[in-house]
Structure 1
Amino acid sequence: MLTEERHQFIRDRLAAEGKVLAGELASRFGVSEDTVRRDLRELAKAGQLRRVYGGAVASAPFAASTISQRGSHAVEEKMRLARAAVGVLAAGQTLFIDGGTTNEAIARAIPRDIELTVATNSLGVASALADLPLVELIMLGGRYIRDLGTCVGGDTLAAVAQLGADLFFLGSCGLDASRGVTAFDSAEAEVKRAMARNSAGIVIAATNDKLATAAPYRVAAADAIRHLVVERTAPAAILADFERQGAEIHVA
């Protein structure tokens, strides 16, 4: 495949999914990862993407998209992950669930006959849980960010500090065995860190495009993850790294 053909494929994949992984591209193109990294450097220099650990993400247009726009990506995969993720729940638990389209899918998948207390800073998650009769719903207020679909800031952090949770369903932007869980927005990452500190364990449901990637702001180390829910096609080598650090792997 010629260089320009590779570049066009990368641009098309970024437009459709917002992210590319260097290893996957190397396998698809039949070239070395060094060649792919050179392609990504050239496209980054042209302002057509932003490089992150393990690959690249789309530049501002995708990053600035609304949560409803992001919700159209990998819908079926997120539904399967959600159905597997709610399998770790036990009646009587208290949960933190923060924002993200996968977490909204998880909220919609929670059975109506399970008693839970759920604290969330996400309007989408709250809306999905609003009519569940056995869920005590706690809204964590603060400054609402439309693009994120969540509340952040001092008021949100103060509300989180008053609670303790058995599990935190954490919506991750990047997930890497060495870099841990990361996020693109600093205020959002601060809220995620507070929820992680006040939880006994972290649950993450991640599509394949989140694995082996990292965003700028660190949220938690990989060994803080108790349950990792992944697609059936997730790379075994990546999952083994998380298992070695204590995560229980659930395949959707």
Structure 2
Amino acid sequence: MHDHSASELPSLRRQKILLILERDGKVMASELSQHFAVSEDTIRRDLAELDNAGLVQRVHGGALPRPKDTGKDYFTRISETDEVKTSLAQLAAGRVKDGQIVLFDSGTTTLQIARSLPSDISITAVTTSPMTAITLAEYKGIKVILAGGQLNLATMSVSGHETVRLLQSIKADLLFTGVCAIHPEVGLSSLYFDEVPVKQALFDSAAQVIAVTTADKLGAVEPFVVAPCSRVHTLITERHLASGSAEDYRRLGIEVEQLQD
């Protein structure tokens, strides 16, 4: 049944889109267009407005609910115990071998990987995150290099010319990259413009790139594109994805490891 009355009031239509999203867990522009009897362009504008207001996360062809941690400050996010992130971090930490040079990107999941390393591991760790550096410093066998630069208070990571210059001087075995959003066609993207050159330098400095992320970041798109998916060698994520399937990433040549139920 078409809801013609809503097509005359964008604000009412957008409220109804949020209700449908809450009910279904995902909305597609094509389906909403038929439901409200308006053009897909109109729906895309609605989704853009809702995204700008922080109420939805736009994905290819539609929208998802905003990830749980959006809008919370860094310290709130790291104080919340998240079983899924812990399990993902433990899988990722198992990839580290003695003697490696390992890059740790910013992000709460990457911090959790630092917490999950074997107590007797012996590596050189390089990070853009002061919190991760402090965590890594608790291990006797880890030599820690902390990149300098301007601190972004939202991500608690550093950026700028000094950060990039240091990262460019390192040839690492492994990178654990934080994921703001990853989409099979768009690639990895970030909410923060200043993160882009830092993340690109991290990618360029690592022989192997491992992206570790909860399922809500897959199929998502943020404003600033960092790199194509082809730059990722391994994706560690949940068993069930909110958008698309693991095959979307395997087709791109990425090894995908998923948590078992």
The two structures have a TM-score, normalised by structure 1, of 0.81
1:122 counterpart (119, 129, 132):
129
Q: How does 1:78-93 map to 2 (within 5 A)?
A: 78-93=85-100
Q: Is the 8 A contact 1:91 1:116 kept in 2?
A: yes
Matched residue SS, 2:220: coil
CA–CA distance in structure 2, aligned partners of residues 9 and 115 of structure 1: 50
* 1:191 partnered with 2:198: yes
- SS of the aligned residue for 1:95 comes to strand
CA distance in 2, matches of 1:106, 1:248: 19
Does residue 53 of structure 2 align to residue 48 of structure 1? yes
Residue 142 of structure 2 corresponds to which residue in structure 1? 135
Quote the residue 2:31 is aligned against: 32
Give the drift of 1:248: 1.2
Following superposition, the deviation at residue 222 of structure 1 comes to: 0.7
- Contact in 2 for aligned 1:40/1:51 (Cα 8 Å): no
- SS of the residue corresponding to residue 200 of structure 1 reads strand
The corresponding residue for 2:10 is: none
Aligned to 2:251: 244
Distance 1:233 1:103 in 2: 21
Shift of 1:32: 3.2
Cα distance in 2 between the residues matched to 1:236 and 1:5: 21
Q: Is the Cα–Cα contact under 8 Å of residues 81 and 229 in structure 1 kept in the other structure? A: yes
Higher helix share: 1
Is the 8 Å Cα contact of residues 223 and 242 (structure 1) preserved in structure 2?
no
Unaligned regions of 5+ residues in structure 2, if any? Answer: 4-12
The residue type paired with residue 32 of structure 1 is: E
- Cα RMSD, aligned residues only: 3.1
State yes or no: 1:161 paired with 2:168: yes
Q: Distance in 1 between matches of 2:165 and 2:244?
A: 39
TM-score (norm 2): 0.78
Instruction: Give CA deviations for 1:77-98 in whole Å, capped at 9, x if unaligned.
Output: 1111101111222221111111
Q: Gaps spanning 5+ residues in structure 1: where? A: 14-22
Q: Name the residue aligned to 2:220.
A: 213
Q: Percent identity?
A: 26
Task: State the AA in 1 paired with 2:75.
Answer: S
Give the superposition deviation at 1:227. Answer: 1.1
Q: CA deviation at 1:26?
A: 4.0
Paired with 1:226 and 1:183, the residues of 2 have a C-alpha distance of 19
* Rounded Cα–Cα distance in structure 1 between residues aligned with 2:240 and 2:137: 33
Q: Provide closer, same or farther for how the CA distance between residues 79 and 63 of structure 1 changes in structure 2, counting only shifts above 3 A.
A: closer
**What per-residue deviation string (whole Å, max 9, x for no partner) do you get for residues 179-219 of structure 1?**
11111111111100011011112111111110011111121
Equivalences for 1:87-102 in 2 at 5 Å? Answer: 87-102=94-109
- The one-letter code sitting in structure 1 at the alignment partner of 2:219 is A
Q: 1:70 to 1:40 in 2, by over 3 A?
A: farther
- Checking the alignment, whether the CA contact within 8 Å between 1:113 and 1:134 is kept in structure 2 is yes
How far apart, in 1, do the equivalents of 2:223 and 2:174 lie? 24
Could you say if the C-alpha distance between residues 204 and 51 of structure 1 is closer, same or farther in structure 2, counting changes exceeding 3 Å?
Answer: closer
Q: What corresponds to 1:19 in structure 2? A: none
Following superposition, the deviation at residue 238 of structure 1 comes to: 2.5
Moved more, 151-160 or 227-236: 227-236
Q: Which amino acid aligns with 1:25?
A: K
Aligned pair count reads 236
- Could you tell me whether the CA contact under 8 Å between 1:7 and 1:43 is conserved in 2? no
SS in structure 1 of the partner of residue 162 of structure 2:
helix
Deviation by residue 1:55-105 (Cα, 9 ceiling, x = unmatched): 2676xxx86642123336672211111011112222211111111111111
